Amino acid sequence: MSQLFRLGLVGWPLTHSLSPRLHQAALQACNLDGEYVLVPVPPLPDGQADLEAQLNHLRQGRLDGLNVTIPHKLSILPLLDRLTPAAQATGAVNTLYLDPDQLAGDNTDADGFWNDLQDQASRLHLEGKFTPGTALVLGAGGAARAVVHTLAQHNWQVLISSRHPEQAQKLVQDLAPSLPAPTLLAMPALETAASWLPLRCDLLVNATPLGMHPHTQASPWLEQLPLPEACWVYDLVYHPPETLLMRRARQQGLYATNGLGMLVHQAALAFLRWTGLTAEKLPLILSAMRAAIERQS
């Protein structure tokens, strides 16, 4: 009898999640049986019992894999038995699985972001652009940790700006020890960073929810401040497909992209992890997932 893959996503709220569509498309493309369900779990402490119940389903084999999203990516860590090196380094998880009888947490956001950056650069024949440069990351939450970790691993210098500068400092403190060279720098919130600006950077990443539906008129960048010249703008937000930040960047003649590519790449890596398929299947999975997104837009 063929295996049935029972997969899902825990988070709150989950109303606009594209993950079921992505994973159903991958199951179908790979001729696998299974389902991917949304499991809304409120923030802790209210959601504690619900969250533990889902983890028990994984431990007991009633679930084969779970994704984790806001607000549980960091708070779930104490409930797990072990972390992959990527999850350990970033201090956040987005993918859970049983290995072999330990509940393990992985972080595929980091490689998902990096793989998409490479994909886009190669599609635009701009591989050279992504020799290590300087990046400015806005926000210091779970996604920022993944982005900063992967950029620094690839020898980028990364500046981190957060509305609460102590959070950016904590991120630097936590991530720096696992890095080959001191490449991270916490900077003040943009509003108070006048002496740093205008700034030269090759890549600007929005890792805050500013601009996300329904608050589409919000932007993480100050209205009166031009965006850094010649930089790529990568908005992790993908709903709407063009955020206010992206629109401003394009008006200024800059290349701007949303977070859909990262979403697809992180999902594909989680799918490989759960199904045990090898990386050879990655192009098939990625193209099925991309087609699923195009069908819905």
x-marked contacts with ligand NAP along 176-215 as a string, rule CB under 6 A: -------------------------------xxxx-x---
Binds ligand NAP (CB under 6 A): choice among 58, 135, 158, 263: 263
175 binds ligand NAP (CB under 6 A): no
Q: How far is the CB of 74 from ligand NAP (least distance, A)?
A: 7
Question: Which residue's Cβ has the minimum distance to ligand NAP?
Answer: 141
Q: Which stretch binds ligand NAP (CB under 6 A): 134-142, 150-158, 226-234, 272-280?
A: 134-142
List Cα–Cα distances, 174 to 7, 68, 73, 161, 179, in angstroms. Answer: 31, 21, 16, 15, 10
237 binds ligand NAP, rule: CB under 6 A: yes
Read off the tokens for 43.
């923030």
73 is an interface residue for ligand NAP by CB under 6 A: yes
Q: Does 70 bind ligand NAP (CB under 6 A)?
A: yes
Tell me the two tokens of residue 216: 């589409």
Helix axes 142-153, 165-175, angle to 10 degrees: 50
- Greatest Cα pair distance, the chain, in angstroms, is 65
* Residue from the set 140, 172, 205, 246 that interacts with ligand NAP by CB under 6 A: 140
Written as six digits, the tokens of 74 are 């960091």
Closer CB to ligand NAP, residue 1 or residue 136? Answer: 136
Amino acid at 215: H
Quick one: 40 exposed, middle or buried, by C-beta within 10 A (0-12, 13-18, 19+)? middle
Catalytic residue among 73, 129, 170, 281: 73
Closest by CA position to 28, among listed 262, 287, 297, 294: 287
143 or 269: CB nearest ligand NAP: 143
109 near ligand NAP (CB under 6 A): yes
Mark residues 152-171: x for contact with ligand NAP by CB under 6 A, - for none.
----------xxx--x----
Instruction: Look at the alpha carbons of 212, 214, 216, 219 in this order and tell me if their dihedral is positive or negative.
Output: negative
Question: Catalytic site residue 170?
Answer: no
Q: Which is nearer to ligand NAP, 62 or 164 (CB)?
A: 164
What is the rounded CA–CA span in Å between residue 204 and residue 255? 11
* Residue (156 or 238) nearer to ligand NAP, CB: 238
Contact call for residues 19 and 49 (beta carbons, < 8 A): no
- Pairing of the two strands 232-235 and 203-206: parallel
Q: Which residues bind ligand NAP (CB under 6 A)?
A: 70, 73, 109, 139-144, 162-164, 167, 207-210, 212, 236-238, 259, 262-263, 266
Catalytic residue positions, numbered: 73
